[in-house]
Amino acid sequence: MSKKVFEALAWASSFLKEQGRDENAGELLLRHYMNMSRSCLLASLHDVVEEAIWEQFVESVKKHGEGMPVQYMIGYEEFYGRRFSVNQEVLIPRPETEELVYGALDRIKRLFGEEQVQLVDIGTGSGAIAITMKLECPALQVTATDIAEASLEVARKNAEELGAKVEFLQGDLLLPFIESGAKFDVILSNPPYIPLGDEKEMSVVVTKHEPHRALFAGKDGLDLYRRFMNELPQVIKNKALVGFEIGAGQSEAVSGMLRETFPTALVEVVYDINGKDRMVFAEIGF
């Protein structure tokens, strides 16, 4: 039986609500399968959905009901106004991370002016941070690392598709640069920061599908930041900017670590649009 667009959306919304999922996911999926913008879809509410599209749509809505993220089904997520390919080897880029990019761009402009700046993004995943930084500020020299080659494949594809010249390296945190002697003006990272014990409270949309290596970091979620404090002094220039995304409630611990490691640094905690402590920046040697 043929369905109209508005009927398809109503069914998806009702089904996903029953499953405790995001009711708006149906609209994203239908837009994807019908290859329409939001305004186009809304102008086509009384159009009939083709049988083949309806079948795909129903299957995908049910998969999301079981916990599969919509972004992995459609193969992309929007970040900073661009479309990034994603799969189950990378974390789905979040809006909060756009704020890390915005904050870093603002500080780089203020601190370095016209100077040549070498930036590295640690744990790049889909490449969202590194690629966006390069495209928003083409003068930057950008390097990005990830521990997983499978994640780097996704990042390289995104860089190519979006036309960003970024150097990608496989490696564990800052170790590749400690070994090579490379030093940077700017180090950014959105590392794993979720405490292991939080997994049972989290949505299966995240825990059953997104890579655990990109989510969890020890008992208190701070393991990676502790490692950074040992490794950062070996790879930063005399004047440097460090920017981290953090989990809500971790700002005191992470800013304390940075102040201990760099006693003269200006360390700043920044809150996201939801009023949660989400970023910590350290201006070192200025």
Task: Give binding residues for substrate as ranges.
Answer: 190-193
Annotated binding residues: 123-127, 146, 190-193
Q: Which residues are annotated as a binding site for S-adenosyl-L-methionine?
A: 123-127, 146, 190
DSSP string across the chain: --EEHHHHHHHHHHHHHHTTS-TTHHHHHHHHHHT--HHHHHHTTTSEEPHHHHHHHHHHHHHHHHT--HHHHHTEEEETTEEEE--TTSPPP-HHHHHHHHHHHHHHHHHHTTS--EEEEES-TTSHHHHHHHHHSTTSEEEEEES-HHHHHHHHHHHHHHT--EEEEE-STTHHHHHHT--EEEEEE----B-GGGGGGS-HHHHTTS-GGGTB-SSSS-HHHHHHHHHHHHHEEEEEEEEEE--TT-HHHHHHHHHHHSTT-EEEEEE-TTS-EEEEEEEE--
